[in-house]
Structures are given as C-alpha cells and as structure tokens.
Amino acid sequence: MKKLKKFNRIALVIIALGSFLLFAFTLPQEQKTPEEWDIPEEYQTMENPYKDDNSLDRIGKMLYAKHCKSCHGNKGQCDGPKAKQLETWCGDFTAEEFQNQADGVIYYKSIIGRDEMPNYESKIPDAEDRWAIVNYIRTLDD
Ligand code: HEC
C-alpha cells in the first residue's frame, strides 16, 4: 500500500509538470517589436523615379496582393492571414511614423528585407514593379 501511494505521488508530479510544460510552449508568444533598421546611405537618398506616376497604380496593387498581402494584409496593418504566426510584428503602413520615411527607405525594407521580412530581389526584378509597390504602400495612409 505504501509503495502504491508513493507511486501515485510521483505520477501526479509528472502529470503536473508535463501539463505545465505543454501549456507554456503552446501559449502564443508575444510578437517582437521590430528593432531599428540599418538602412544604407544610398537608399536613404534614393530618388523614386515613378513618384506621382498614376499609371503604375494597378500593377502596384496587384503585386502587393500577390507578394505582400499574406502578411501585411488588406489594410497594411499586419492584418494578413500569416501575420499572427510571425515572430516579429510586421508594422503599420497607415501610421504617420511609417509614412514619414523616405521612398528609398521603404524600397529597401520592401525589396531587400531582413530576417522574417523576405528578400524580393529575384522575385520582383523589375525596377518599375518595385516602385509600383512602394507607391501602392503610400496609398495605404488612411
Ligand atoms: C512572410 C511574411 C511577409 C511577407 C510575405 C512580406 N513581409 Fe514585409 N515584413 C514582414 C515582417 C515580419 C516585417 C518586420 C521585419 C523586421 O522588422 O525585422 C516586415 C517589414 C516590412 C516593412 C517595414 C515596416 C516598417 O514598419 O518600417 C516593409 C516596408 C515591408 N515589410 C514591405 C513588404 C512588401 C512590399 C512585401 C511584398 C513585396 C512584403 N513586405 C512581404 C513580413 C512579411
């Protein structure tokens, strides 16, 4: 009898510990706030050759839907279907702080990327297409 009681106690401890670990690892983790980007000088001063070029509106919207919307979402507020699975929050394109950045900086973040933000240099090789996306992101300012 004594032995059985001891066994029960050990089993209980194991079950308690096991459920705790399971709980701890399945709980959604807080998303990380992005750290400052290190943007090379040449991008900070890069001119947008397609600024105010409305002829790219449709292509920009289409490319955004194809490549970016799954994470960044319809509203550009990190509201896409994949957004919740990201370790790092993917930003708010409607925010004033975001929109205050230079075109070249948005271009760098969009095309070169880093970590969970994919690199699109080979997927979007055309300069016109790249700037079309930057211009589209500019329209998400609410
Ligand atoms: C797989 C999900 C995913 C996709 C797809 C994706 N991004 Fe991102 N994006 C992220 C994440 C995560 C970050 C934040 C990364 C960081 O700060 O380290 C980010 C950051 C950014 C930023 C900087 C945001 C800020 O607050 O300064 C821009 C701009 C951006 N992405 C543009 C794009 C564009 C344009 C596309 C499509 C061509 C795209 N992203 C596709 C996940 C994604």
Q: 42-59, pLDDT tens digit by residue?
A: 999 999 999 989 999 999
Nearest to 137 by CA among 92, 85, 93, 81: 93
Q: Which whole-number Å values give the CA distances from 58 to 28, 54, 75, 84, 96, in the listed order? A: 37, 9, 16, 28, 24
Residue with CA nearest ligand 1 atom 23: 109
Closest ligand 1 atom to residue 137 Cα is 35
Q: What is the mean pLDDT of the chain?
A: 93
Please report which confidence band the pLDDT of residue 8 belongs to, taking 50, 70 and 90 as the band edges: confident
Hey, how many other C-beta atoms are within 10 angstroms of the C-beta on 89?
Answer: 14
Task: Give distance in angstroms: CA of 68 to centre of ligand 1.
Answer: 7
Nearest atom in ligand 1 to the alpha carbon of residue 101 is 27
Task: Count other Cβ atoms within 10 Å, centred on residue 105.
Answer: 19
CA distance 109 to 121: 11
Ligand 1 centroid – CA 116 distance (Å): 8
Confidence of residue 1 (pLDDT cuts 50, 70, 90): low
CA of 55 to the centre of ligand 1 (A): 24
